Amino acid sequence: MEQLSLKYIERAPITATETPSVLILLHGYGSNKEDLFSFAQELPDELHIISVQAPQTLGFGSYSWFTIHFNDTQGKFSDIPEAIEARELVATFIKEVQEKYQVKPENTYLLGFSQGTILSYSVALNYPEIIQKVIALSGYVNPELLPKDVNLKDYSALDFFISHGNVDQVIPVEWANKAPEFLKQLHIKHSYQEYPVGHGVAPKNFFDFKLWIENHLAKTTNS
């Protein structure tokens, strides 16, 4: 099997379609490519699902996209140069996937959890021409990873499903719920949901973003 620039596992589409769609999964800090891949069997058959592994090793079966300094006096402090490097790695990987499987940007979905969501926001807002549909779970927008010309970008095709646990003990819900207003100012389509859980994905949350994906897939099929 031809290997791309990042390690990954995949589920090929179970149902073939004329317009292939791909869902790329970015796990959180300390996790691995197997984690979010557990969603795969419950997601639409026409999706090609690719779960990516972050490049930094934290220990056996544990990886990260960039360093977090937990003992920083101002709270969790992301290593911004590393995060920018990770953003570029993910953007390159998305383009490789699109070329390999002949998938258009409008049929490319990016799902992140926690640190994976921080990257998903930054990739989409820096490169809206390659990724247009984002599921942002339990993360937040980091302004330090955004383009300087954010008001000059064409975000007309972007669409976000955003969710967060309202008792999240890892990333405060207050960090997450700044995103809707930020996206609204940029006229970016989005939906925002909170669920009565901590740092995780509630069953209702999964059902809701699955429905969001299904609705978008239906539009693609009918267009």
Structure tokens at 104: 């258009």
Is 24 domain-assigned?
yes
pTM: 0.94
Residue-level pLDDT at 76: 56
Domain annotation covers residue 93: yes
| Separation of alpha carbons 34 and 180, rounded Å | 30
Helix axes 115-126, 80-101, angle to 10 degrees: 70
- pLDDT of amino acid 219: 85
Which residue do the tokens 């021409």 mark?
Answer: 129
Kindly state whether residue 215 falls inside one of the protein's structural domains: yes
Q: Residue 164: give the domain boundaries.
A: 8-222
* pLDDT score for 150: 86
Total domains, the chain: 1
Instruction: Give the number of other Cβ atoms within 10 Å of residue 124's Cβ.
Output: 24
Domain of residue 107, CATH code: 3.40.50.1820
Share the mean pLDDT of the chain.
Answer: 93
pLDDT in tens, 176-221: 999 999 999 999 999 999 999 999 999 999 999 999 999 999 987 6
In this prediction, residues 14-24 reach a mean pLDDT of: 92
Residue 1 counted as domain residue: no
Structural domain contains residue 188:
yes
- pLDDT of 135 reads 98
Report which of 127, 141, 124 is spatially closest to residue 78, judged by C-alpha positions. Answer: 141
Residue pLDDT, tens place only, 30-81: 999 999 999 999 999 999 999 999 999 998 899 999 988 766 545 557 889 9
